[in-house]
Structure 1
Amino acid sequence: MSELRFEDVTVRYGTGRRAMKAVDGVSLTVPSGQVVGLVGESGSGKSTLARAAVGLAPVAAGRVLLDGKEANHRTAHHRTSGRAGRAVQMVFQDPYASLDPRMRVGDSVAEAIPRAAADGTGGRRAEVTRLFGLVGLDAGHVFARPAELSGGQRQRVALARALAGRPEVVIADEITSSLDVSVQGTVLNLVRDLQRQMRLGMLFISHNLAVVRYVSDVIAVMYLGRIVECGPAHEVLADPQHPYTRELLAAAPRRDGYAWETASEGDGTVTDVEPPDPHHVPAGCRFHPRCPVGPLVLSGRTDCLTLDPSSGAADRVHSTACHFAAGRPAASGAASGTVSGTASGAAT
Structure 2
Amino acid sequence: MSALEFDAVSVRYGRLTAVDGVSLTVPSGQVVGLVGESGSGKSTLARAAVGLSPVSAGQVRLDGVDVRRLPRRRPLQMVFQDPYSSLDPRMGIGESITEAMPRSTSRGARRAEVARLLELVQLDPERASMLPGQLSGGQRQRVALARALAGQPKVLIADEITSALDVSVQGAVLNLVRDVQRRLSLSMLFISHNLAVVRYVSDIVAVMYLGRIVEAGPAEQVLTDPQHPYTRDLLAAAPSAHRNLLADPADPADVTAALADTEPADPHHPPPGCRYHPRCPIGPLVHTDRTLCVSADPADDAAHRPHHAACHFAA
Q: Is the 8 A contact 1:210 1:253 kept in 2?
A: no
1:276 maps to what in 2? 265
Aligned length: 305
CA deviation digits over 1:98-146, x for unaligned, max 9? 0011100110000101134x3x211100000000000000011111111
Q: Among the aligned pairs, what percent are the same residue? A: 69
Helix, strand or coil at the partner of 2:88 = coil
Q: What is the aligned partner in structure 2 of residue 6 from structure 1? A: 6
Q: Pick from 50, 58, 72: which aligns with 1:62? A: 58
The aligned residue for residue 52 of structure 1 is 48
Correspondences of 1:17-28 after superposition (within 5 Å): 19-28=15-24
Matched-pair contact (CA < 8 Å) for 1:265–1:293: no
Match of 2:102 in 1: 114
Give RMSD over aligned pairs: 1.6
Does the alignment pair 1:140 with 2:119?
Answer: no
Pairwise CA distance, 1:267:
3.3
Residue 24 of structure 1 aligns to a residue in which SS? strand
The one of 75, 80, 99 aligned to 1:92: 80
| Candidates 164, 168, 176, aligned match of 2:154 | 168
In structure 1, list runs of 5 or more residues that go unmatched. 76-83, 256-262, 327-348
Q: Which amino acid aligns with 2:3?
A: E
2:286 aligned partner: 297
User: Are 1:295 and 1:304, in contact at CA under 8 Å, matched by a contact in 2?
Assistant: yes
Contact 2:17 2:267 in 1 (8 A): yes
- In structure 2, what is the Cα distance between the partners aligned to 1:146 and 1:306? 53
**Aligned counterparts, 1:194-273, within 5 A:** 194-253=180-239, 267-273=256-262
Deviation at 1:216, TM superposition (A): 0.2
Q: Secondary structure at the match of 1:33?
A: coil
Take 1:209 and 1:72, find their aligned partners in 2: how far apart are those partners?
32
In 1, distance between residues paired with 2:136 and 2:66?
36
Mapped partners of 2:148, 2:160: distance in 1: 15
Deviation at 1:70, TM superposition (A): 1.4
Shift of 1:264: 6.3
Question: Gaps spanning 5+ residues in structure 2: where?
Answer: 242-251
Contact in 2 for aligned 1:92/1:174 (Cα 8 Å): yes
Counterpart residue identity of residue 9, structure 2: V
AA aligned to 1:115 is R
The normalised TM-score by structure 2 is 0.94
